[in-house]
Amino acid sequence: MSKLWQARFFTTVNQLRDLPDTKAPEIAFAGRSNAGKSTAINILTNQKGLAFASKTPGRTQHINYFSIGGAHVGQHRKDATIVEEIEAFLVDLPGYGYAEVSGSAKLHWQKLLGDYVQRREQLAALVLIMDSRRPFTELDVQMLEWFAPTGKPIHCILTKADKLNRNESTNVLRQARMMLESYVDEDGEGFPFTVQLFSALKRVGIDEANAKIIDLLGLTDIPADPDAQLVDPVDSDD
């Protein structure tokens, strides 16, 4: 059992001006299309279909908000008193880098993502989801560099670690740490960047990611229940 298991669908938005007028801290999952954002949210919330996960890249095309706490919040009940009980939000962002999205739609999303991560005050931290076989693509680095100046933490999750052997996993984690440590501000200070390996399929790194997200959101987790029922892991994609 984790506090994140309380997550429920809250709202979906298509434009920055429609972002919910909420006060609770939020943590956003960003990453390339197909990297495993929605799957990670499903595993962390122990709900198979909460965030849509798919073999077809580009499925998450809106910003989806999931609320934590405020136990009686329903999808259509957004009145102020109920919204106040919400303790935090998980935000599933549309994936970037999806080749078949048309030029103008791509620009729309690129701009929206950039503006959202740079300006959203409620955003406490970013979870950067990357395929462990090809982390830190150009667009991932751009996302990192857009967000770094806010001074807020970035937790990188290297997904699909089940595709790597032990040696490859060790190497990719070490290289990722070196890459993140190479960022320093004008005073030579490092940024609050962290990284871990993750596999939804083999259930690797779930506790670590859970603890990190709970911490970044300033929540207190609820004690683990050894008898809790876990949802099925995902299907491997390729």
Ligand X SMILES: Nc1nc2c(ncn2[C@@H]2O[C@H](COP(=O)(O)OP(=O)(O)OP(=O)(O)O)[C@@H](O)[C@H]2O)c(=O)[nH]1
Total binding residues toward Mg ion, as defined by CB under 5 A: 3
Q: For residues 127 and 180, which CB has a smaller minimum distance to Mg ion in the complex?
A: 127
DSSP output for 6-48: G-EEEEEESSGGGS----S-EEEEEEBTTSSHHHHHHHHHT-T
The answer to whether residue 46 forms part of the interface with ligand X (CB under 6 A) is no
Q: Does 59 bind ligand X (CB under 6 A)?
A: yes
- Indicate which of ligand X, Mg ion, none lies near residue 199 (CB less than 5 to 8 Å, by partner kind): ligand X
55-74: burial string, b at 16+ Cβ within 10 Å, e else: eebbbbbebbbbbbbbeebe
Whole-angstrom distance, CA of residue 8 vs CA of residue 65? 8
Residue 113 interacting partner from ligand X, Mg ion, none (CB closer than 5 to 8 Å by kind): none
DSSP 8-state symbol, 50: S
Using CB under 6 A, which of 199, 205, 206, 212 touches ligand X?
199
| Interaction partner, residue 69 (ligand X, Mg ion, none; CB < 5-8 Å by kind) | none
Backbone angles phi, psi at 215, to 5 degrees: -65, -45
**Binding mask of the shown chain, residues 84 to 113, with x at each position contacting ligand X by CB under 6 A:** -----------x------------------
3-state helix, strand, coil in the chain (%, to 5): 35, 20, 45
Establish if 58 lies at the interface with ligand X (CB under 6 A).
Answer: yes
Span interacting with ligand X, options 52-60, 106-114, 176-184, 222-230, rule CB under 6 A: 52-60
Q: Give the Å distances, CA to CA, from 194 to 35, 36, 61, 144, 171.
A: 18, 18, 27, 12, 16
Residue 219 touching ligand X (CB under 6 A): no
**Residues forming the site for Mg ion (CB under 5 A):** 37-38, 60
**Residues forming the site for ligand X (CB under 6 A):** 31, 33-39, 53-55, 57-60, 95, 159-160, 162-163, 199-201, 234-237
